[in-house]
Amino acid sequence: MSASGQGKLRVALAGAGAISHYHLIAWAHEKRAEVVAICDPDTARARSRAAEGRGARVYPSLKDALADGGIDAVDIASPRATHAGLVELAVDAGMPVLCQKPLARTLAEAETLAASVAGRARVMVHENWRFRPWYRRIRQWLEDGRLGAVEQVDMAMLSSGMLPDETGARPLLVRQPYMLTEPRLMIADVLIHHLDVLRWLFGPLRVLDARMTNTLPGIVVGETLAVIFLETGTHAPVTLRGSMVAAGEPVRTEDRLAAMGAAAAVRLAGTSLSLTGVVPLSESFDFAASYQESFDATVRHFVDCLAGGRPFETEVADNLETLRLVEDAYHAAGAGPP
């Protein structure tokens, strides 16, 4: 698995923020690989993560880690504004890359990056949402034909995380302070996951219209609420709704999905999944375990595909399709070029 074809895949993790915790656990669960370097300008934070990662070396930058050698692959878990530059750096060094979503801040930037890295190294986008167990089960039901022809879909992500809690703090901003200054927030940072899941489950989608608003001007820059209207290739209507300011909802991002088919319907409410039809089915999931499993499965898929020479499920071309929907949604909402 290493550069020499023997031993464990040696991974450099770029980024030591909140999400890197789950990356590190996933790599610890993957016995064919190990994180040997953690890179972050905040070296104190990187050292804290290194303690979790069984003594990985600490560097202020990925460039420094690559210069030191002993690395076979790069996992990028840094802020999205840094993704394109870090992918280029890793690819220039001949490294396969696993990059947190999105590949780049905008579709245009991602297309430029895709052209630059094409044929030089393997790049997979870390779109772990579709690896959540309940979505894998829905995909299985769809492939088995249990729903029949899909007639309509409604999906929602509702969180109260931007509202003040009993202490006056806003939990989402405590956990992810970068959200304060993101001009593109609800759609580009959160609903991008759901757009990816919807097109993975139901095929190519087209944006028909969108609406968005910032309900907290002066606190955050970007939109905190958005609704996107889409349709499938067979013209089945799809609605995607998202809110970070949904009073009475959990702080964590719980999804809701209702997909109506000619033969049955599937409903997801947080971690409860059901199929209603001739043969009804139901299943419940543990959120914490499933959340981590989505990271584990993403890393496992990356290593499997590298070892077997198979294409990534979320390769660059696939992520570009999701980014096109993001750009189309902003344009439809009057906040971006076509």
- Burial category of 99 from C-beta neighbours within 10 Å (exposed 0-12, middle 13-18, buried 19 and up): buried
Q: Report the pLDDT value the prediction gives residue 36, as an integer from 0 to 100.
A: 96
Q: What six digits make up the tokens of 201?
A: 């489950």
pLDDT at residue 338 tops 60 = no
Q: How far is CA 3 from CA 128, 175, 319, in A?
A: 26, 36, 27
Q: Report the pLDDT value the prediction gives residue 53, as an integer from 0 to 100.
A: 67
Q: What is the pairing mode between strands 73-76 and 9-14?
A: parallel
How far is Cα 310 from Cα 135, in angstroms, rounded to an integer? 22
Q: What six digits make up the tokens of 205?
A: 């989608």
Mean pLDDT of 305-328: 96
What's the pLDDT tens digit per position in 12-43?
A: 999 999 999 999 999 999 999 999 999 999 99
What's the pLDDT tens digit per position in 96-135?
A: 999 999 999 999 999 999 999 999 999 999 999 999 999 9
Question: What is the helix (H) or strand (E) element at residue 155, kind and residue range?
Answer: strand 150-158
pLDDT at residue 288 tops 70 = yes
Q: Report the pLDDT value the prediction gives residue 253, as an integer from 0 to 100.
A: 83
What's the pLDDT tens digit per position in 151-180?
A: 999 999 999 999 999 999 999 999 889 899
Q: What is the mean pLDDT of the chain?
A: 94
Q: What confidence category does residue 193 fall into, taking pLDDT thresholds of 50, 70 and 90?
A: very high
Mean pLDDT of 298-303: 98
Question: Taking CA 203 as the corner, what is the angle to CA 332 and CA 224, rounded to the nearest 5 degrees?
Answer: 40
What's the pLDDT tens digit per position in 56-68?
A: 999 999 999 999 9
User: DSSP assignment of 274-328, as one string?
Assistant: EEESSS-EEEE--HHHHHHHHHHHHHHHHHHHHHHTPPPTTBHHHHHHHHHHHHH
Q: Report the pLDDT value the prediction gives residue 4, as an integer from 0 to 100.
A: 45
What's the pLDDT tens digit per position in 209-236?
A: 999 999 999 999 999 999 999 999 999 9
pLDDT at residue 54 tops 80 = no
| 8 A C-beta contact, residue 212 and residue 242 | no
Q: In the beta sheet, which residues pair with residue 190?
A: none
- Burial category of 288 from C-beta neighbours within 10 Å (exposed 0-12, middle 13-18, buried 19 and up): exposed
pTM of the predicted structure, to 2 decimals: 0.93
Q: How far is CA 188 from CA 2, 105, 227, in A?
A: 35, 8, 13
Residue with tokens 């757009």: 195
pLDDT at residue 2 tops 80 = no
Kindly list the structural domains of the chain, giving each domain's residue range(s) and its CATH number in brackets, ordered by start.
9-126 (3.40.50.720), 130-293+322-332 (3.30.360.10)
Question: What is the helix (H) or strand (E) element at residue 205, kind and residue range?
Answer: strand 205-213
Q: Between these two residues, 252 and 246, which has the higher pLDDT value?
A: 246
Q: Report the pLDDT value the prediction gives residue 1, as an integer from 0 to 100.
A: 54
39-48 residues labelled b (16+ CB within 10 A) or e (exposed): bbeebebbeb
| 8 A C-beta contact, residue 74 and residue 98 | yes
pLDDT at residue 337 tops 80 = no
Q: How far is CA 129 from CA 32, 61, 126, 193, in A?
A: 23, 27, 9, 6
Q: Report the pLDDT value the prediction gives residue 277, as an integer from 0 to 100.
A: 86
Of the candidates 306, 327, 307, the residue with the CA atom closest to the CA atom of residue 315: 306
